[in-house]
């Protein structure tokens, strides 16, 4: 209980500071970084999400928000601090998520309309 | 085991003594010849055997002829046959050789039919799955020590899942006479001690009369809710010795089922009062429906109250197509929550977050209104044990009944009918309309979520599940197991409506349940003319893949579609999580997940494994477009009576 407010403050501080820190990344590099850092484990290889983690793509959250959340996650998601995930890799991951196509409307998939 | 009966003795002891004596005689021959050599100058290189040695080596051991009368194990078969046990999955073992012989020769290998298994855990798992379809228990036989140790995980799953299995372990109790060597390693004073903490009852019969009482008692206890596994230690001597040729013949007690325990009438009335007066009652069921009738009763109660129902899936409790079917979050707005046979009431109304806060133990938070009233009906309250604590964290309950939920539902329904005042009926109907809207919206959200990653490779778990459903939907299908966590898509998207559509999970979450339980359930479905399909995970299958051979051997048709995410994925996430909490880069060791958690490099070719054991199989399927056609082929194979496996590479969850 003592730690949570500190993390919240840190998250807000990171959110405010993030626009300067987050650079545009490479989707190709991001695809590899996404696997290397284990994002796929809870969110799936194409960010589709599941019972273990929410969907990340398409339309990922803005890079600043993603950075703030990833660095300071205090809920079910474990935090990824800079020692284990660099700013560059994080920017690449965001670029990868941004590159993923929109999912089809379920109404266009016969198997989802039995 | 000491015996008082002066009648015909167990001649197996003397027979074995005879065998040992013959061996000794053979060994002594050279010594005698050496004596002869001292007196004669020329010694032949190979002496002819003496009459005694020749008889010992080639003749019929005279002791065999002494086995007279009816073998004790024949009587044991007579006892077993009175209970209508259809199959006996087991891995063969010498400590039960006598009853094995009686079962297949004297008993004609019918009722029960011996099914050859390659692991005791597989045998128990098959019995587990079989019961959940047939509603009737199977028995298994195992070696008293080594075999029973193999069986323990399966027995623990059955205990946690409240499933009756009759386990009989062969044991050579008489240390003074049992054969030396291996049989001693395979015997113990009290083999039942291995499983006593997670069986309902155990016994060690010391006479045939004791056996008949113990076996019928074991069956009766196992089949009285809460159901559970039971254990009998079966002395090898008792199996092999003939029945007495004098005195009274042992009798076989008649099996009469015990009525399940019903909730106290006062507590039922109080529960009904709370439910009838609630603004937003919610029903939560885990193993409430022991039979198809349990589902019917739960629908009646839900519709009477227009209360939403959260089915936790320990059994098929409530149709997923019903507008009152609700997700776990539905507890949040409830003012009265009734839990029916919940294994974890605490986690039903509280949330736990594994976030390393609070000195690393994680955080707890309530999921319900502070003043919500809680009601529980659970038979497990009648049968708890100290060592293995599967009753979870302590939860304060306002009205708690130590009773069987299904048996109590008729009285509760009548009490609720009486307790609902006329002026409440319009409000209750309105509640139903809100539930219809929430259900429709939830279905739409779920289907859109399933569309995410629809064309991804490896195949998404939503695509996997819906392709499978598309292939079997025209059949009388039964999803016999869904292991490895596929984001719960079958429960979210399949129209689970009948009791056999969903059989629940392992109970103890011991990995290795899915494959044998699928085969056992498919066996029961085969006899009922149903089509069995399983979602089979990779790690689960590799615990004891020999059960694939058992399915082929005994012609048990089953479609196993693999959720092959190439890892023990729960552990992949756990070790990654701990690495992050400790701010360390997870060591992947060249794999895609932390060292020790992945099943890759090399990849297991499950389709070849299955083929080698007599299955039709295909794979690896990585392109989702190939899945539908492969499934259609596999369904035809299974309909023709053969088991079929598709090795599908999938997304992690």
What would the pLDDT profile of B112-167 be if each residue is shown by its tens digit? 999 999 999 999 999 999 999 999 999 999 999 999 999 999 999 999 999 999 99
Nearest to A106 among B447, B569, B592 (CB): B447
Q: What is the pLDDT of residue A19?
A: 44
- Burial of residue B416, with CB atoms counted within 10 A of its CB: 0-12 exposed, 13-18 middle, 19 or more buried: buried
d(CA B388, CA B386): 6
**Interface contact flag, B355 A45, Cβ < 8 Å:** no
- Residues 6 or more apart from B182 whose CB is under 8 A from it? B94
d(CA B625, CA B202): 53
Closest residue in chain B to residue A32, using alpha carbons only: B592
**How many residues are listed for chain B in this entry?**
653
**How many residues are listed for chain A in this entry?**
114
**Any idea what the Cα angle at residue B246 is, between residues B240 and B247, rounded to 5°?**
105
Across the range A7-34, mean pLDDT stands at: 66
Closest residue in chain B to residue A113, using alpha carbons only: B447
Contact B449, A49 (CB under 8 A): yes
- Residues 6 or more apart from B191 whose CB is under 8 A from it? B144, B145, B148, B169, B171, B233
Question: CB of A20 within 8 Å of any CB in chain B?
Answer: no
B435 phi-psi bin (left φ>0, alpha ψ -120 to 50, beta other): alpha
Contact B151, B121 (CB under 8 A): yes
Q: What percent of chain B has pLDDT over 70?
A: 89
CA distance B566 to chain A (A): 12
Contact A43, A54 (CB under 8 A): yes
Least confidently predicted of B246-250, B315-319, B347-351, B538-542:
B246-250
Nearest to B353 among A45, A55, A76 (CB): A76
Average pLDDT of the residues of chain B = 91
**Interface contact flag, B453 A45, Cβ < 8 Å:** yes
Q: Half-sphere exposure of B580 toward its Cβ, with a 13 Å CA cutoff?
A: 24
CA distance A76 to chain B (A): 6
**Paired tokens of B142:** 């195992």
Question: CB of A46 within 8 Å of any CB in chain B?
Answer: yes
pLDDT at B42 over 70: no
**Interface contact flag, B487 A3, Cβ < 8 Å:** no
Question: CB of A79 within 8 Å of any CB in chain B?
Answer: yes
d(CA B144, CA B239): 14
Closest residue in chain B to residue A102, using alpha carbons only: B452
Q: What is the DSSP string of B468-486?
A: HHHHHTTS-EEEEEE-S--
Is residue B263 classed as helix, strand or coil in its secondary structure?
A: coil
d(CA B77, CA B72): 9
Chain segment B63-112, per-residue pLDDT in tens: 454 567 899 999 999 999 999 999 999 999 999 999 999 999 999 999 99
Least confidently predicted of B5-9, B189-193, B570-574:
B5-9
CA distance B457 to chain A (A): 9
Nearest to A74 among B355, B588, B653 (CB): B355
Contacts of B653 in chain A (CB under 8 A): 42, 44, 50-52
- φ, ψ of residue B646 to 5 degrees: the values are -115, 125
Is residue B43 classed as helix, strand or coil in its secondary structure?
A: coil
Query: For tokens 């140790």, what's the residue?
Result: B149
Contact B316, B294 (CB under 8 A): no
pLDDT at B56 over 80: no
CA distance A20 to chain B (A): 24
Contacts of B581 in chain A (CB under 8 A): 78-79
**Any idea what the Cα angle at residue B443 is, between residues B442 and B447, rounded to 5°?**
120
**Interface contact flag, B453 A48, Cβ < 8 Å:** yes
Across the range B320-345, mean pLDDT stands at: 97
**Interface contact flag, A3 B458, Cβ < 8 Å:** no
Closest residue in chain A to residue B361, using alpha carbons only: A1
Mutate which of A106, A108, A110, A113 to test chain B, going by most B C-beta atoms within 10 A?
A: A106
Peptide bond into B602 cis (omega under 30): yes
pLDDT at B34 over 80: no
**Interface contact flag, B452 A48, Cβ < 8 Å:** yes
pLDDT at A14 over 70: no
Across the range B228-236, mean pLDDT stands at: 98
pTM: 0.89
d(CA A80, CA B585): 9
Query: For tokens 């038979």, what's the residue?
Result: B379
Closest residue in chain B to residue A51, using alpha carbons only: B487
The DSSP 8-state label assigned to residue B192 in this structure reads G
**Interface contact flag, A106 B450, Cβ < 8 Å:** yes
What is the interface size between A and B, counted as CB pairs within 8 Å? 117
**Interface contact flag, A103 B588, Cβ < 8 Å:** no
Q: Which residues of B544-581 are buried (b: 16+ CB within 10 A; e: fewer)?
A: bbbbbbbbbebebbbbbbbbbbbbbbbbbbebbbbbbe
**Interface contact flag, B651 A103, Cβ < 8 Å:** no
Mutate which of A44, A59, A72 to test chain B, going by most B C-beta atoms within 10 A?
A: A44
Q: What is the pLDDT of residue B248?
A: 76
Q: What is the pLDDT of residue A22?
A: 52
**Interface contact flag, B356 A78, Cβ < 8 Å:** yes
**Interface contact flag, B456 A46, Cβ < 8 Å:** yes
**Interface contact flag, A109 B454, Cβ < 8 Å:** yes
pLDDT at B406 over 80: yes
d(CA B540, CA B107): 35
Q: How confident is the model at residue B52 (pLDDT cuts 50, 70, 90)?
A: low
- Residues 6 or more apart from A96 whose CB is under 8 A from it? A25, A27, A28, A29, A30, A31, A33, A34
Q: What percent of chain B has pLDDT over 90?
A: 84
pLDDT at A18 over 90: no
Q: What is the pLDDT of residue B44?
A: 53
Contacts of A104 in chain B (CB under 8 A): 451, 454-455
pLDDT at A10 over 90: no
Query: For tokens 């309105």, what's the residue?
Result: B430
Q: What is the pLDDT of residue B6?
A: 40
Closest residue in chain B to residue A2, using alpha carbons only: B358
Contacts of A50 in chain B (CB under 8 A): 461, 487, 651-653
Q: What is the pLDDT of residue B197?
A: 96
Q: How confident is the model at residue A23 (pLDDT cuts 50, 70, 90)?
A: low
Contact B379, B404 (CB under 8 A): yes
Q: What is the pLDDT of residue B392?
A: 83
Mutate which of A50, A60, A107 to test chain B, going by most B C-beta atoms within 10 A?
A: A50
- φ, ψ of residue B11 to 5 degrees: the values are -75, -5
d(CA B637, CA B631): 10
CA distance A16 to chain B (A): 23
Q: How confident is the model at residue A8 (pLDDT cuts 50, 70, 90)?
A: very low
Contacts of A42 in chain B (CB under 8 A): 573, 652-653
Contacts of B453 in chain A (CB under 8 A): 44-48, 103
Say how many C-beta atoms besides its own lie within 10 A of residue B363's C-beta: 17
Chain segment B164-218, per-residue pLDDT in tens: 999 999 999 999 988 888 988 999 999 999 999 999 999 999 999 999 999 999 9
d(CA B61, CA B20): 11
Nearest to A48 among B460, B488, B579 (CB): B460
Contacts of B488 in chain A (CB under 8 A): 51
Contact B408, B262 (CB under 8 A): yes
Contacts of A60 in chain B (CB under 8 A): none
ipTM of the complex: 0.86
- Residues 6 or more apart from B133 whose CB is under 8 A from it? B478, B480, B500, B503, B521, B524, B525, B528
Query: For tokens 């997940």, what's the residue?
Result: B593
Chain segment B352-364, per-residue pLDDT in tens: 999 999 888 899 9
């Amino acid at each position: 209980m003592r730690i949570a407010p500190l993390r919240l403050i840190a998250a807000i501080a990171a959110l405010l500071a993030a626009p300067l820190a987050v650079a545009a990344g490479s989707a190709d590099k991001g695809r590899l970084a996404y696997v290397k850092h284990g994002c796929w484990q809870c969110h799936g290889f194409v960010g589709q999400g599941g019972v273990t983690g929410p969907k990340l793509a398409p339309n990922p959250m803005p890079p600043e928000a993603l950075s703030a959340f990833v660095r300071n996650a205090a809920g079910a998601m474990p935090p990824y601090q800079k020692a284990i995930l660099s700013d560059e890799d994080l920017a690449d991951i965001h670029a990868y998520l941004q590159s993923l196509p929109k999912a089809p409307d379920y109404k266009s998939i016969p198997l989802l309309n039995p | 085991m000491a015996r008082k009966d002066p009648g015909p003795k167990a001649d197996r002891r003397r027979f074995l003594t005879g065998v040992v004596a013959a061996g000794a005689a053979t060994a002594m021959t050279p010594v005698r010849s050496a004596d002869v050599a001292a007196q004669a100058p020329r010694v032949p290189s190979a002496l002819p055997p003496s009459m005694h040695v020749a008889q010992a080596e080639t003749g019929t051991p005279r002791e065999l002829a002494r086995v007279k009368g009816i073998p004790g194990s024949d009587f044991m078969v007579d006892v077993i046959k009175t209970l209508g046990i259809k199959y006996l999955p087991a891995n063969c073992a010498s400590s039960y050789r006598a009853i094995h012989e009686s079962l297949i020769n004297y008993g004609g290998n019918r009722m029960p039919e011996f099914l050859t298994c390659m692991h005791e855990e597989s045998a128990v798992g098959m019995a587990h799955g079989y019961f959940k379809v047939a509603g009737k228990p199977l028995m298994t036989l195992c070696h008293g020590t080594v075999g029973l140790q193999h069986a323990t995980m399966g027995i623990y799953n059955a205990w946690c899942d409240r499933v009756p299995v009759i386990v009989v372990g062969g044991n050579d109790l008489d240390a003074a006479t049992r054969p030396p060597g291996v049989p001693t390693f395979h015997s113990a004073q009290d083999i039942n001690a291995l499983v006593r903490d997670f069986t309902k009852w155990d016994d060690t019969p010391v006479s045939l009369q004791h056996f008949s009482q113990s076996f019928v008692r074991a069956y009766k206890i196992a089949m009285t809710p809460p159901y559970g596994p039971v254990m009998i230690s079966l002395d090898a001597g008792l199996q092999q010795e003939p029945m007495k040729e004098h005195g009274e013949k042992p009798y076989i007690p008649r099996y009469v089922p015990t009525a399940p325990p019903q909730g106290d009438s006062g507590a039922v009335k109080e529960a009904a009062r709370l439910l009838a007066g609630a603004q937003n009652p919610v029903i939560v069921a885990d193993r409430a429906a022991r039979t198809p009738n349990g589902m019917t009763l739960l629908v009646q109660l839900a519709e009477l109250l227009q209360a939403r129902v959260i089915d936790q899936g320990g059994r098929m409790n409530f149709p997923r197509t019903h507008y009152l079917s609700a997700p776990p979050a539905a507890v949040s707005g409830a003012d009265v929550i009734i839990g029916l046979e919940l294994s974890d009431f605490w986690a039903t109304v509280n949330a736990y977050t594994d976030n390393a806060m609070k000195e690393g133990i994680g955080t707890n938070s309530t999921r319900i209104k502070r003043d919500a009233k809680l009601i529980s009906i659970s038979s497990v309250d009648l049968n708890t044990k100290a060592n293995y604590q599967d009753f979870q964290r302590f939860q304060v309950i306002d009205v708690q009944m130590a009773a069987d939920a299904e048996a109590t539902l008729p009285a509760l329904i009548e009490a609720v009918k009486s307790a609902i005042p006329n002026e409440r009926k319009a409000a209750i109907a309105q509640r139903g309309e809100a539930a219809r809207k929430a259900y429709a919206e939830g279905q739409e959200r779920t289907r859109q979520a399933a569309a995410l990653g629809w064309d991804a490779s490896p195949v998404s778990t939503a695509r996997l599940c819906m392709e499978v459903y598309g292939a079997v939907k025209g059949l009388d299908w039964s999803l016999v197991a869904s292991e490895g966590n596929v984001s719960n898509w079958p429960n979210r998207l399949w129209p689970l409506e009948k009791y056999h559509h969903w059989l629940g999970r392992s109970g103890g979450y011991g990995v290795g349940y899915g494959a044998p339980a699928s085969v056992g359930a498919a066996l029961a479905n085969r006899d009922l003319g149903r089509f069995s399909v399983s979602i089979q995970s990779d790690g689960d299958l590799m615990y004891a893949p020999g059960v694939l051979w058992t399915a082929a051997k005994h012609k048990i048709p089953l479609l196993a579609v693999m959720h092959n995410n190439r890892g023990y994925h729960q552990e992949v996430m756990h070790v990654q999580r701990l690495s992050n909490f400790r701010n360390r880069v997870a060591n992947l060791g060249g794999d895609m997940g932390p060292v020790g958690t992945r099943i890759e490099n090399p990849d297991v070719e499950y389709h070849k494994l299955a083929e080698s054991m007599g299955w039709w199989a295909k794979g690896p399927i990585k392109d989702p477009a190939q899945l539908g056609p492969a499934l259609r082929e596999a369904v035809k194979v299974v309909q023709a009576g053969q088991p079929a496996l598709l090795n599908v590479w999938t997304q992690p969850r």
